[in-house]
Amino acid sequence: MKKLSVVIPCYNEQETIAIYLNEMKKIESELPLAFEYIFINDGSKDDTLLILREIADRYDNVNFISFSRNFGKEAALLAGLKATTGDFVTVMDVDLQDPPGLLPQMYQKIQEGYDIVGTRRSSRTGEPVIRSFFAKKFYQVINQISDTEMVDGARDFRLMTRQVVDAILELNEVNRFSKGIFSWVGFDTYYISFENRERSAGETSWNFWSLFKYSLEGIINFSEAPLTFATLIGLGSCIMSILAMIYFFLDNLVTQNPVPGWPSLVCIILFLGGLQLFCLGIVGKYIGKIFTEVKNRPNYIIKESYFKSEDE
C-alpha cells in the first residue's frame, strides 16, 4: 500500500490537535493509503509538545518534530517536508481551516494525472474586511510584478506527488515563501475551491502586521520590480530637478523675478531626501536578504523528535 505523509505545523495549538486528529481518522478509511502524520511543534509556549508526546505514544502512525524555539511556519513546513517518506505528501493546518474532507477528491485528481492538487478559498467570509481587502490587493500586485503566478485565495493545503516534494527540497534558500515556491516549481496543478472555514478552537497567531510582513517576503523573494521602481523614481527625480532648474533660470532671465526663497528650496530638499531614503530602504531590504543567505544559518534547530521507524 502506498503512503500519504501529512505535514502539520503547530504553534500554540493545544486545543486543536485532538480535534484535528479525530477528523483525520475518519478520512483514513476513505483512502487506499497508509497515513503518516508529522507534527512540527514550532516553539509553542503552551502544552502543544506535551499533547504531541501523548498522541505519538497512542497512535502508531503519529510522529513529531519539536524546534528549540519559534522559527516560523516556513521553517516548520521545510522540516516537515524533509521528514516525509510517503509516495504522496499533503500540508495542512491543524485548526481545520483546511477541510480534511477534501482529501479523497484531491487524491482522485492525483490519480487522473495531476502532480499537485491545491485548494483555494472561494470567499473570505468571516475574515476581517481590512485583512481581506489587502490580501486581494497583494495577489493583484504580486501577479503583476512577478513571473511566478500565485492564485488568489490559495492555501498551503495541497496534495503533492513525491517528485514535486523532491523538487521543492532542492531549493535551499533561507528566505522561503512557500506559496511562491509551490508555484515556481511548476508541474501540472489543479485547484479545488471551498468556502472559508473558521478555526475549530483556539486563536490564530496571525495578525495584520505579521501577514503584511509575510506579503513583503513574497514580493521581495519573487520579484525584482521594487528595485526597478526605485531606479525609475530616482531617474524621475533627477529629470524633474533638471527641468525645474531650467524653468527657474528662464523665468529669472525673461521676467527678472528672483526665484522664491528658502521655503521652496526646503520643500525640494525634503522631497528628494525622502525619495532617496525610500529607495535606499528598498535596496537595503534586498541586501538584507543577501546577508541572510550568505550567513547560511540553518532554517531551524530540532530540540526533540519522535519517529516510530527510528525506535523500531
Tell me: domain 3-206+300-311, CATH 3.90.550.10, correct?
Answer: yes
Residue spans per domain, the chain = 3-206+300-311, 225-295
42 contact partners, CB below 8 Å, separation of at least 6: 9, 10, 11, 67, 70, 71, 72, 73, 75, 76
User: Which is it for strands 62-67 and 154-161: parallel, antiparallel or unpaired?
Assistant: unpaired
Residue 176 phi, psi dihedral angles, 5° rounding: -110, 145
Query: What residue spans of 185-302 are helical by DSSP H?
Result: 208-222, 225-255, 262-295
Closest CA to 64 of 82, 80, 78, 86: 80
Q: What are phi and psi of 156, to 5 degrees?
A: -70, -20
The residues near 267 (Cβ < 8 Å, ≥ 6 apart) are none
Spell out the per-residue pLDDT of the chain, length 312, in tens.
Answer: 789 999 999 988 888 888 889 888 888 888 889 999 999 998 888 888 999 999 988 888 899 999 998 888 888 889 999 999 889 999 988 888 888 888 998 999 998 889 988 888 776 665 656 666 666 666 666 656 666 666 666 777 889 999 999 998 888 877 777 777 877 787 888 888 877 555 444 455 555 556 556 566 656 665 666 766 766 776 677 677 777 767 766 766 776 666 566 556 766 776 777 677 777 777 777 777 777 777 777 888 999 888 875 444
- The reported pLDDT for the residue numbered 310 is 47
According to the model, what pLDDT value does residue 173 have? 77
Q: Who's near 111: CB < 8 A, 6+ residues apart?
A: none
**pLDDT the model gives residue 4:** 93
HSE, CB side, 13 Å, CA atoms: give it for residue 216: 11
> Which three cell numbers, joined as nine digits, stand for 272?
528628494
Nearest to 92 by CA among 117, 109, 69: 117
Question: b vs e for 164-200, b when ≥16 Cβ sit within 10 Å of the residue's Cβ?
Answer: bbebbeeeeebebbbbbbbbbbeeebbbbebeeeebb
| pLDDT of 259 | 56
Instruction: Write the DSSP symbol of residue 258.
Output: P
Torsion of Cα atoms, 58 then 62 then 65 then 69, to 10°: -60
pLDDT of residue 8: 92
Q: What is the pLDDT of residue 225?
A: 66
**Count H helices, E strands: the chain?**
11, 8
